[in-house]
Amino acid sequence: MQITKGKIPGLLLLTPKVFEDQRGYFYESYNQDVFEQKIKKIRWVQDNESGSVKNVFRGFHYQVPPFAQAKLVRVSRGKVLDIAIDIRPDSPTFGQSESVILSEENKLQFFIPAGFAHGYLVLSEKAVFNYKCDDFYHPEAEGGISYRDPNLKIDWPLPVDELIVSRKDKQLPELTHHRPFKD
């Protein structure tokens, strides 16, 4: 597995070794020992999967402390634009975002530590999005940031009015109106 540091400290892009032949392919999508040796000791407690159609945007979501979550995300079908936003209050990159393309073809994985809001936009006709979390979901600790926040400077591949977004996500506040991880 090759690990590339993101432009924002803490974010990592994981490239697995893929073995292909005339039958298809094989790769190890996760190995606890390798993860702990190369990245950090972590205890994943929940695996999630989401299926979505083209132009669906899910995000930007996070869990507040003490239930903040690290995530390891990947796409097993289709293609998405995956986006992480730094919401760590004392971070010099607070409010900055980083985007990566995750797809069934590139088999990349994106490690997003606690202290980031996360979301993704489906670019293919359909996508299956998979992710591990190091803490359980707690509805009372749920938070989010508006995908329309112009200060995030997201380079959307289509007009934001064309995104398919849940009613709940349409009501999220801009990041400038709150500091999610304040002391």
One-character DSSP codes across 141-178 = GEEE--TT-GGG----SS-GGG-B--HHHHTPPPGGG-
- The enclosing domain of 85 has a CATH number of 2.60.120.10
Residue 47 CA to residue 2 CA, distance in Å, equals 22
When comparing pLDDT for 119 and 181, which is higher?
119
Number of domains the chain contains: 1
What does the pLDDT average to over 138-155? Answer: 94
Whether pLDDT at 139 is above 90: yes
Domain containing 123 equals 43-177
Q: Which percentage of the chain shows pLDDT scores above 90?
A: 94
In a domain, 182, yes or no: no
In a domain, 29, yes or no: no
Handedness of CA 97, 47, 130, 1 (dihedral sign): positive
Residue 135 CA to residue 9 CA, distance in Å, equals 21
In a domain, 35, yes or no: no
Whether pLDDT at 180 is above 90: no
Residues labelled as active-site residues: 61, 131
- Per-residue pLDDT tens for 93-122? 999 999 999 999 999 999 999 999 999 999
136 in Cβ contact with 142 (< 8 Å): no
The overall longest dimension of the chain from CA atoms, in Å, is 55
In a domain, 27, yes or no: no
**pLDDT score for 183:** 47
DSSP 106: T
21 in Cβ contact with 103 (< 8 Å): no
> Could you give the strand order of the β-sheet that contains 79-86, starting from the edge strand earlier in sequence?
97-103, 79-86, 116-122, 57-63, 142-144
Which amino acid appears at position 101 of this protein?
Answer: I
**pLDDT score for 176:** 81
The closest of 24, 13, 76 to 48, measured between CA atoms, is 76
In a domain, 134, yes or no: yes
Q: Report the relative pairing of strands 24-26 and 97-103 from DSSP bridges.
A: unpaired
In a domain, 9, yes or no: no
In a domain, 127, yes or no: yes
Lowest mean pLDDT among 52-66, 87-101, 164-178: 164-178
Whether pLDDT at 128 is above 90: yes
- pTM value is 0.94
In a domain, 173, yes or no: yes
